C-alpha cells in the first residue's frame, strides 16, 4: 500500500476541483482527503500504487472545464497500514507556498440559464444564479483560500435549500461560493433618489430603456451605462451627458441571430462571442445596419458582446430591442464605479435610473475586447473572463519574484512568481489620480492572493515622468528591490516573442508613442531582439511635433510638420484654404505652428506610426480632432475599408547612421498629389495605409537579411488595424520569412507589463 501527498497548482480553486477529486477517488477506491490549502489544493491518497498513478493521469485529463493545472507535486511513500477509511473533503487551510490563483469570472452556463428561464424552478428569473461552472470568481473574492467567508457572498447566509446543494459533493453547486437564490442571495433594486418600489425591478428597468431612458446597471465587475442601441435620440443623449462626442460604444445583444441583424459574423467570431469568457468582439457592420448611426460613428465596425450574467439575460427577456448600448460607466480616464453610493453620486445627471444590487464588487474588471485579423483573434483588452490567469515563464525563471508596472495608458501590471506571470485586469490611464489609486489597490490585492510577500525586482517603463515610474521607485524602497527600466517597444516585442515561443526576431513595433532610448518619442521601430538585448535597426522618419501633445490631439499640426520641407507652394495658404477649421484658433494658430517649426520651441521629435496615420487622416479630411485614443487612425481604416485598391503609393527607404528610415513625408506628398488629381478619398486612404505597412515590412526584411534572422514579428496598437496587419504579413511571407503576431496577449499597451516580466526574467537569469 502507498500514500501519495499531492499539491496541485494552477486554477484549481472555485472551479469544482475538490468535488471532481472526490468523485474520482471514490470511483478508484482510494482513501484520503482533499482540501484547499492557501492558494493551491492538497490531495492525500492511500491505496494501490497503480490506482494512484491512474488517478493522477485521469485528473489531468478529466479536470473541471474551467480549471487549469500548471503543476502537480507528488510525494509517494510505501506504508504498512492505512490512516483513512474513506475519502473526504476537508475544511480549507491557510498554509501554502504554491502559486495557484483565483480563476477569472465565467459567463452563466447553460444549466443555470435553463433554471433562470424555467417557471417551475426556484431560481426562475433570479439574476444571480451561478454554480461551480459559472458566475463571478475574481470579482468577489477578498483573500485565499477561496471559501465563501472570504468573498463578498459571506453577507448572504445560505438558506436550507442552497445549503443542501452546497454541502453535497455530488451536486454541481458543492462549495460553489457564489451559490444563492431569491431567498438568501443578493437582490436587485431600482433607484432614483430612493429605492423605487416594484416587485420586478428588471422588468421595470427594461420598460424604462424601451422608453428611451438611460440606466446605470451594476453588474459583476463594474457598472455599465445602458440605452437602446436602435434609438438615435437615446444614444445621442448619452453621448451629450458623457461628453463623448464620437467614441464608439459597445453593444450587447441577446443572442447570435440578433447580432446578425446588424453585423457580419464569421465562425471564429461566433465561437469567441459565445465562449464562457464572453469578450466584446469587434465585428464589421452589415449592409443593412439598422442601429443608431451614433453608436459607432465613422467606423465600419462595432464592438458586440452577448449576455454573461443572469442580469443581462433577464433584461433581454422583457424587450424586443436587438441590442443595448453597454458602455463602461465612468468619467473619461477614471476607473469604473463599483460602490452603490459612488454610482448614484458619480453618475447623477448622466443616468436617469439606476439598476443596482446589494452584493459588493471586490475587484472591478472591465470587459475584454478582441478583434479578428485574417481569421486570427487578437486581444485589444484582456480583462474580464481572462484576468488574472497566468502566463507560463518557467522556461525563463522559476525563482525570480518581480512586480512589473506597465506604461501609462491602457495599463495592466504583472506579478511574476514561481515562473508564473499573473497579468492584472485592465487598469487604465494612470496619469489620472483615481486610476493610480486603483493600480495601487490592485497591486496589493494581486500580490496578496498570489502569496507574494516581497519581490526581487520592480520593472517599469523607461519614461522618467510616468507616475508608474515614480511608483516603481516607491516600491523599490519598500521592498529593497532592484529597479529594471525597460524600453517601451522592447517590452512590446518581448511579450510577442513569449506568445510565440521565439527567442530571436526582427520586430516591427508600431504604435502611438513610447519613450525612446535616445530621449525622443518612438513609435515606428524596427528592433532586433535577442534574449535580453535589442538594437534599433530601422524606424519611420523622425518628424517634429509642434506643440508636443497638441499634435496628438489636433493632427493637422502633424500634417503641417510633415509637409513643411517637401511642399513646393505656399504651405500657409494651403492650410488656410483646406484645413483652417482644424486649428481651433484659426490663422493665428497656423502662424504659431510655423514659428514653432522654425524655432523648435515646444516641439518634440517622433517616429510614431500613429502620428503618421493621424496626418494622413487629417490630409484626407477624415478626422481633424482626436476625441478618443486612436480615433484618427481608426476612421482612416474605416474610410479605406471599401476601397478597391486601385491606387499605389510607392515608398522610399534610406539609410542613416546605420539605420533604415522610411520616408513618411514622401508618402504624404503623394496623398496630397492624389487629392489634387481628384482621386477617391477611400482609394487614397487605402493606398497610403498600404505604403506605410509595406514600408515597415520592407525595412524589417532588409534588417532580417542583414542579421540572418528568419522570424519577423508585428506588435503595437497599429497592428489592430486589419488592413495594415495583413499587408505586413503578406509582404513578409512573400519574401520568405516567418511572420508572428500576438495570439494570447495584447498588441497594444495592455501587454507591456508582461513584456517587462520577460525582460526581468531574462536579465536576472544571467
Final residue belonging to a domain, choices 166, 186, 206: 186
pLDDT at 504 over 60: yes
Query: Which CATH number is 482's domain given?
Result: 3.30.420.360
Q: 448 and 482: one domain?
A: yes
Q: 194 and 297: one domain?
A: yes
Around Cβ 62, how many Cβ atoms within 10 Å?
10
Consecutive H or E run containing 725: helix 722-734
Around Cβ 345, how many Cβ atoms within 10 Å?
10
Q: Classify residue 720 by its DSSP letter.
A: G
Separation of alpha carbons 402 and 414, rounded Å: 8
What is the SS3 assignment for 254? Answer: coil
pLDDT at 432 over 70: yes
In this prediction, residue 143 carries a pLDDT of 87
Q: 76 and 111: one domain?
A: no
In this prediction, residue 378 carries a pLDDT of 94
Identify the band that residue 91 occupies on the pLDDT scale cut at 50, 70 and 90.
confident
In this prediction, residue 94 carries a pLDDT of 66
Residue-wise pLDDT tens digits, 281-309? 999 999 999 999 999 999 999 999 999 99
Please report the beta strands in 219-368, taking only residues with DSSP state E, as ranges in sequence order. 223-228, 251-252, 280-284, 301-305, 324-328, 353-357
Q: 315 and 335: one domain?
A: yes
Q: What are phi and psi of 688, to 5 degrees?
A: -70, -45
Query: Which CATH number is 112's domain given?
Result: 3.90.870.30
Residue-wise pLDDT tens digits, 113-165? 999 999 999 999 999 999 999 999 999 999 877 889 999 999 999 999 999 99
Nearest alpha-carbon partner for 763 in 483, 556, 346, 387: 483
Final residue belonging to a domain, choices 186, 212, 234: 186
Identify the band that residue 609 occupies on the pLDDT scale cut at 50, 70 and 90.
very high
Query: Is residue 193 assigned to a domain?
Result: yes
Q: 224 and 310: one domain?
A: yes
Cα Rg of the chain (Å, integer): 27
C-alpha separations of 223 from 102, 130, 330, 472, 687 in Å: 22, 19, 8, 30, 41
Query: Is residue 610 assigned to a domain?
Result: no
In this prediction, residue 38 carries a pLDDT of 73
pLDDT at 433 over 80: yes
Query: Which CATH number is 270's domain given?
Result: 3.90.870.40
Q: 178 and 203: one domain?
A: no
Domain extent for 321: 188-363
pLDDT at 251 over 90: yes
CA torsion angle 498 500 506 512 (round to 10):
-70
Q: 348 and 381: one domain?
A: no
Identify the band that residue 96 occupies on the pLDDT scale cut at 50, 70 and 90.
low
pLDDT at 259 over 70: yes
pLDDT at 95 over 80: no
Query: Is residue 116 assigned to a domain?
Result: yes
In this prediction, residue 441 carries a pLDDT of 97
Residue partners of 109: CB distance under 8 A and separation at least 6: 131, 133, 134, 276
Nearest alpha-carbon partner for 66 in 104, 114, 22: 104
Q: 404 and 497: one domain?
A: yes
Residue-wise pLDDT tens digits, 34-72? 998 877 899 999 999 999 999 999 999 999 888 889 889
Q: 259 and 326: one domain?
A: yes
> From the centroid of its chain, how far is CA 211?
33
Burial 552-573 (b: 16+ CB within 10 A, else e): bebbbbbbbbbbbeebeeebee
pLDDT at 98 over 70: no
Mean pLDDT computed over every residue of the chain? 95
Identify the band that residue 102 occupies on the pLDDT scale cut at 50, 70 and 90.
confident
Residue-wise pLDDT tens digits, 688-736? 999 999 999 999 999 999 999 999 999 999 999 999 999 999 999 999 9
Final residue belonging to a domain, choices 335, 363, 391: 363
In the numeric block, which cell numbers belong to residue 423? 497579468
Q: What are phi and psi of 532, to 5 degrees?
A: -85, 0
C-alpha separations of 398 from 62, 63, 99, 689, 760 in Å: 27, 25, 11, 43, 12
Around Cβ 376, how many Cβ atoms within 10 Å?
14
- pTM given for the model: 0.94
pLDDT at 576 over 60: yes
Residue-wise pLDDT tens digits, 614-663? 999 999 999 999 999 999 999 999 999 999 999 999 999 999 999 999 99
In the numeric block, which cell numbers belong to residue 559? 500634417
In the numeric block, which cell numbers belong to residue 256? 447570435
Query: Is residue 217 assigned to a domain?
Result: yes
The catalytic residues are 18, 36
- Domain count for the chain, please give it: 4
Query: Is residue 535 assigned to a domain?
Result: no
Least confident of 66-80, 404-418, 558-572: 66-80
In the numeric block, which cell numbers belong to residue 742? 500576438
Residue-wise pLDDT tens digits, 322-348? 999 999 998 766 899 999 999 999 999
Residue-wise pLDDT tens digits, 536-575? 999 999 999 999 999 999 999 999 999 999 999 999 999 9
Separation of alpha carbons 147 and 129, rounded Å: 18
Query: Is residue 224 assigned to a domain?
Result: yes
Around Cβ 69, how many Cβ atoms within 10 Å?
16
Query: Is residue 621 assigned to a domain?
Result: no
Quickly list DSSP for 62-87.
H--TT-EEEEEEEEEEE-SS-S-SSE
Identify the band that residue 217 occupies on the pLDDT scale cut at 50, 70 and 90.
very high
Separation of alpha carbons 465 and 92, rounded Å: 45
> From the centroid of its chain, how far is CA 530?
27
Nearest alpha-carbon partner for 606 in 540, 658, 553: 540
The contacts found for 192-198 with CB under 8 angstroms, 24 or more apart, are 192/352, 192/353, 192/354, 196/353
Quickly list DSSP for 675-711.
HHTT--HHHHHHHHHHHHHHHHHHHHHHHHHHHT--E
Q: 146 and 207: one domain?
A: no
In this prediction, residue 40 carries a pLDDT of 85
Query: Which CATH number is 29's domain given?
Result: 3.30.70.100
Q: 262 and 337: one domain?
A: yes
Q: 117 and 171: one domain?
A: yes
In the numeric block, which cell numbers belong to residue 486? 525597460
Burial 428-465 (b: 16+ CB within 10 A, else e): bbbebeebbebbeebbebbbebbbbeebbbbbbbbbee
- Cβ pair 215, 205 in contact under 8 A: yes
Q: What are phi and psi of 211, to 5 degrees?
A: -85, 0
What is the CB-side half-sphere exposure of residue 441 using CA atoms within 13 A?
Answer: 12
Query: Is residue 586 assigned to a domain?
Result: no
Amino acid at each position: 500500500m502507498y500514500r501519495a501527498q499531492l499539491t496541485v497548482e494552477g486554477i484549481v480553486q472555485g472551479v469544482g476541483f475538490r468535488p471532481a477529486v472526490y468523485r474520482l477517488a471514490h470511483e478508484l477506491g482510494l482513501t484520503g482527503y482533499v482540501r484547499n490549502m492557501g492558494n493551491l489544493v492538497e490531495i492525500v491518497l492511500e491505496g494501490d500504487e497503480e490506482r494512484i498513478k491512474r488517478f493522477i493521469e485521469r485528473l489531468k485529463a478529466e479536470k473541471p472545464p474551467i480549471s487549469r493545472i500548471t503543476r502537480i507535486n507528488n510525494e509517494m511513500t510505501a506504508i504498512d497500514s492505512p490512516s483513512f477509511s474513506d475519502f473526504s473533503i476537508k475544511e480549507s487551510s491557510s498554509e501554502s507556498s504554491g502559486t495557484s490563483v483565483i480563476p477569472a469570472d465565467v459567463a452563466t452556463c447553460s444549466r443555470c440559464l435553463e433554471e433562470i428561464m424555467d417557471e417551475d424552478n426556484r431560481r426562475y428569473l433570479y439574476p444571480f444564479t451561478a454554480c461551480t461552472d459559472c458566475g463571478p470568481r475574481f470579482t468577489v473574492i477578498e483573500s485565499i483560500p477561496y471559501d465563501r467567508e472570504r468573498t463578498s457572498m459571506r453577507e448572504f447566509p445560505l438558506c436550507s435549500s442552497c445549503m443542501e446543494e452546497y454541502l453535497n459533493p455530488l451536486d454541481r453547486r458543492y462549495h460553489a461560493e457564489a451559490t444563492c437564490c431569491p431567498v438568501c442571495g443578493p437582490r436587485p433594486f431600482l433607484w432614483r433618489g430612493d429605492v423605487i418600489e416594484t416587485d420586478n425591478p428588471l422588468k421595470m428597468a427594461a420598460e424604462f430603456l424601451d422608453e428611451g431612458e438611460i440606466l446605470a446597471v451594476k453588474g459583476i465587475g463594474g457598472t455599465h451605462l445602458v440605452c437602446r442601441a436602435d434609438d438615435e435620440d437615446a444614444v445621442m443623449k448619452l453621448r451629450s451627458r458623457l461628453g463623448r462626442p464620437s467614441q464608439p460604444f459597445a453593444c450587447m445583444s441577446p443572442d447570435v441571430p440578433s447580432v446578425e441583424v446588424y453585423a457580419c459574423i464569421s465562425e471564429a467570431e461566433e465561437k469567441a462571442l459565445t465562449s464562457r469568457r464572453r469578450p466584446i468582439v469587434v465585428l464589421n457592420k452589415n449592409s443593412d445596419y439598422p442601429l443608431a448611426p451614433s453608436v459607432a460613428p465613422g467606423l465600419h465596425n462595432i464592438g458586440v458582446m452577448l449576455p454573461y450574467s443572469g442580469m443581462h439575460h433577464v433584461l433581454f427577456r422583457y424587450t424586443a430591442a436587438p441590442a443595448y448600448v453597454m458602455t463602461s460607466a465612468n468619467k473619461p480616464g477614471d476607473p469604473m464605479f463599483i460602490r452603490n453610493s459612488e454610482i448614484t453620486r458619480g453618475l447623477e445627471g448622466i443616468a436617469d435610473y439606476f439598476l443596482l444590487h446589494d452584493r459588493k464588487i471586490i475587484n472591478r474588471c472591465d470587459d475584454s475586447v478582441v478583434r479578428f485579423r485574417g481569421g486570427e483573434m487578437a486581444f485589444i483588452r484582456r480583462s474580464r473572463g481572462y484576468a488574472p490567469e497566468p502566463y507560463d515563464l518557467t522556461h525563463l525563471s522559476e525563482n525570480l519574484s518581480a512586480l512589473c508596472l506597465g506604461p501609462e495608458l491602457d495599463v495592466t501590471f504583472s506579478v511574476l512568481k514561481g515562473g508564473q506571470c499573473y497579468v492584472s485586469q485592465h487598469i487604465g490611464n494612470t496619469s489620472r489620480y483615481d486610476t493610480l489609486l486603483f493600480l495601487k489597490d490592485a497591486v496589493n490585492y494581486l500580490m496578496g492572493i498570489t502569496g507574494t510577500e516581497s519581490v526581487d525586482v520592480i520593472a517599469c517603463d523607461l519614461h522618467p515622468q510616468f507616475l508608474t515610474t515614480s511608483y516603481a521607485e516607491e516600491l523599490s524602497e519598500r521592498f529593497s528591490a532592484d529597479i529594471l527600466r525597460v524600453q517601451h517597444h522592447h517590452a512590446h516585442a518581448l511579450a510577442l516573442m513569449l506568445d510565440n515561443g521565439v527567442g530571436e526576431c526582427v520586430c516591427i513595433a508600431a504604435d502611438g508613442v513610447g519613450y525612446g532610448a535616445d530621449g525622443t518619442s518612438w513609435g515606428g521601430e524596427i528592433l532586433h531582439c535577442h534574449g535580453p538585448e535589442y538594437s534599433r535597426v530601422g524606424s519611420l522618419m523622425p518628424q517634429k511635433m509642434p506643440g508636443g501633445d497638441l499634435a496628438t490631439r489636433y493632427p493637422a499640426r502633424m500634417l503641417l510638420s510633415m509637409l513643411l520641407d517637401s511642399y513646393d507652394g505656399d504651405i500657409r495658404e494651403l492650410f488656410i484654404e483646406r484645413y483652417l477649421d482644424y486649428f481651433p484658433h484659426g490663422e493665428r494658430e497656423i502662424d504659431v505652428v510655423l514659428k514653432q517649426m522654425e524655432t523648435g520651441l515646444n516641439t518634440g521629435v517622433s517616429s510614431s506610426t500613429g502620428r503618421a496615420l493621424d496626418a494622413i487622416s487629417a490630409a484626407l479630411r477624415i478626422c481633424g480632432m482626436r476625441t478618443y485614443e486612436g480615433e484618427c487612425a481608426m476612421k482612416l481604416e474605416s474610410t479605406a475599408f471599401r476601397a478597391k485598391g486601385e491606387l499605389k503609393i510607392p515608398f522610399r527607404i534610406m539609410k542613416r547612421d546605420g539605420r533604415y528610415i522610411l520616408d513618411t513625408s514622401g508618402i504624404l506628398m503623394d496623398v496630397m498629389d492624389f487629392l489634387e488629381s481628384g482621386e477617391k478619398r477611400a482609394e487614397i486612404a487605402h493606398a497610403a495605409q498600404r505604403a506605410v505597412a509595406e514600408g515597415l515590412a520592407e525595412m524589417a526584411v532588409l534588417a532580417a537579411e542583414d542579421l540572418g534572422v528568419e522570424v519577423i514579428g508585428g506588435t503595437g496598437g497599429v497592428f489592430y488595424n486589419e488592413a495594415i496587419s495583413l499587408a505586413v504579413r503578406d509582404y513578409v511571407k512573400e519574401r520568405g520569412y516567418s511572420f508572428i503576431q500576438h495570439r494570447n496577449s495584447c498588441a497594444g499597451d495592455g501587454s507591456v507589463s508582461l513584456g517587462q516580466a520577460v525582460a526581468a526574467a531574462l536579465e536576472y537569469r544571467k
